[in-house]
Amino acid sequence: MSIRPELPIKNLTELGLPELEALFASWGEPRFRAKQVYQWVFQKGARSIDAMTNLSKALRTRLTDEGYAVGRVRVGRVSESIDSTRKLAIKLDDGAAVETVLIPMGDNKFSQCLSSQVGCALDCQFCYTGTLGLSRHLTPGEIVDQVIVARAHLPEGARITHLVYMGMGEPLHNFDGVIGSLARICDPDGLGYSHRRVTVSTSGLVPQIERLGQTVPVNLALSLNATTDEVRDAIMPVNKRWPIASLMAALRAYPLPPRRKLTVEYVLLGGVNDTDADARRLGDLLRGMAVRVNLIPWNPFQGPGYDRPAEDRVHAFHRILDAQGFTVTVRVTKGLDIDAACGQLGERPTAA
Ligand code: SF4
């Protein structure tokens, strides 16, 4: 199977405003109709053409008769953690499945973690999704649809205020799909999110980091996880292609909008990358950059033989970076009991 899914052009979730305008112009419909449909799909989250009540009956019938539909994804199993994190299994229309996670941030606000690929090709050794391999990229519509369908699974009155591309897949490997989804997500006539509230994470695809910076002013998070090429080569094979020095150069060149910081994610693996020397080297690598460091004590799953670091190790690591003047947070692990924490996404085989 090709990793590039065919864009179903008869699915309104896959069409941008220019494509809708061209379609309606070819039908002799006024231009504003295209915007109405676009707003129904992306702003109001309509799940059927019949729900678009300000369109004439004739236009709704024509759309249906020509084979158009809305939405490509369905929500399957919903798991809720004791900490109120919600994991949604997302079924795609070719039978593939991904997961998306709603993470409570307090005040009835949620951050949503989006998937960009079915599986992942990058094979990071500490990540469950990496064990699945890559089946295919998601389309722009499938990425945006995760946000639209998740709204129905929020508690009463809650909102999704932040979006992070940190679910299944390496977002920058599916560059076109992610950029296409951002066009809808950050469009005031679409989902209307400010770029400031959207973060794209990467394991370190250097050329695409540069392209992203030139294309759209979203926040960037780098999943670094090691301070020497030797360790990073071992836990993140992508490092053999783009080693730490090239990554740091790409980060320093990233065109960060004023008053914003890059995020550097650092998964702490007990006895692998969590020594005092690692913390000092991390400080050396990041010195002078506008960054916040997010330490993530590893979330276990069966297989790779790593250990979650001891709490005093996490504190020591934190203290060393803090003393060097960095903004450092330790990620509060959420959704661990439902396999929704960082690096745990992906359907588990069911017991026979
Ligand atoms: S950490 Fe991200 S890039 Fe690495 S294997 Fe997992 S999903 Fe892929």
Closest ligand 1 atom to 127 CA: 6
**Facing residues of 38 across strands?**
none
pLDDT computed for residue 277 by the predictor: 98
Give the pLDDT score at 71. 82
**Where are the chain's structural domains?**
12-65, 73-338
Predicted confidence (pLDDT) per residue in 278-314, tens digit:
999 999 999 999 999 999 999 887 777 899 999 999 9
Q: Is the CB of 122 under 6 A from ligand 1?
A: yes
Q: Is 129 in the pocket of ligand 1 (CB under 6 A)?
A: yes
Catalytic residues: 99, 342
Mutate which of 3, 98, 127 for ligand 1? The one with the most ligand atoms within 8 Å of its CB, which is 127
pLDDT tens, position by position, 228-269: 999 999 999 999 999 999 999 999 999 988 899 999 999 999
* Closest residue by CA, ligand 1 atom 5: 130
Mean pLDDT, the chain, rounded, equals 92
Structure tokens at 106: 């307090």
Q: Is the CB of 273 under 6 A from ligand 1?
A: no
Cβ neighbours of residue 65 under 8 Å, at least 6 residues apart?
A: none
Give the H/E segment covering residue 215: helix 206-215
Residue 97 is predicted with a pLDDT of: 95
Instruction: Calculate the CA 38 to chain-centre distance.
Output: 23
pLDDT (0 to 100) of residue 175: 98
Report which DSSP code applies to 254: S
Give the pLDDT mean for 13-21.
93
**3 state DSSP class of 24:** helix
Q: How confident is the model at residue 351 (pLDDT cuts 50, 70, 90)?
A: very low
Share of the chain above pLDDT 90, in %: 83
Helix (H) or strand (E) holding 276: helix 276-286
Fold of the 73-338 domain:
TIM Barrel (3.20.20)
Amino acid type, 57: K
Residue type, 288: G
The CA distances from residue 200 to 68, 271, 280, 317, in Å, are 31, 29, 26, 25
| Cα–Cα distance for residue pair 349/318, rounded to 1 Å | 36
CB burial string 254-273: b at 16+ within 10 A, e below = bebeeeeebbbbbbbbeebb
Does the pLDDT at position 134 exceed 90? yes
Yes or no: say if 225 and 238 are a contact pair by the CB < 8 Å rule: no
Q: Summarize the confidence of residues 207-232 as an average pLDDT.
A: 97
CATH number at 12-65: 1.10.150.530
Handedness of CA 49, 50, 53, 59 (dihedral sign): positive
In this prediction, residue 352 has a pLDDT band, given cuts at 50, 70 and 90, of very low
The three-class DSSP label of residue 330 is strand
Q: pTM, whole model, 2 decimals? A: 0.93
The alpha-carbon radius of gyration of the chain (Å, integer) is: 21
At how many degrees (to 10) do helices 244-253 and 206-215 cross? Answer: 10
123/142 Cα distance (integer angstroms): 23
| Partners of residue 193 on adjacent β-strands | none
Ligand 1, residue 201: give the atom nearest the CA. 2
DSSP strand pairing (198-202 vs 327-330): unpaired
Q: How would residue 337 be classed by pLDDT, with cut points 50, 70 and 90?
A: confident
pLDDT confidence of residue 6: 62
Question: Binning pLDDT at 50, 70 and 90, where does residue 182 land?
Answer: very high
The pLDDT score that the predictor gives to residue 10 is 87
Instruction: Evaluate if residue 8 carries a pLDDT over 70.
Output: no
Phi, psi of 283 (to 5 degrees): -60, -45
Residue with tokens 């061209």: 22
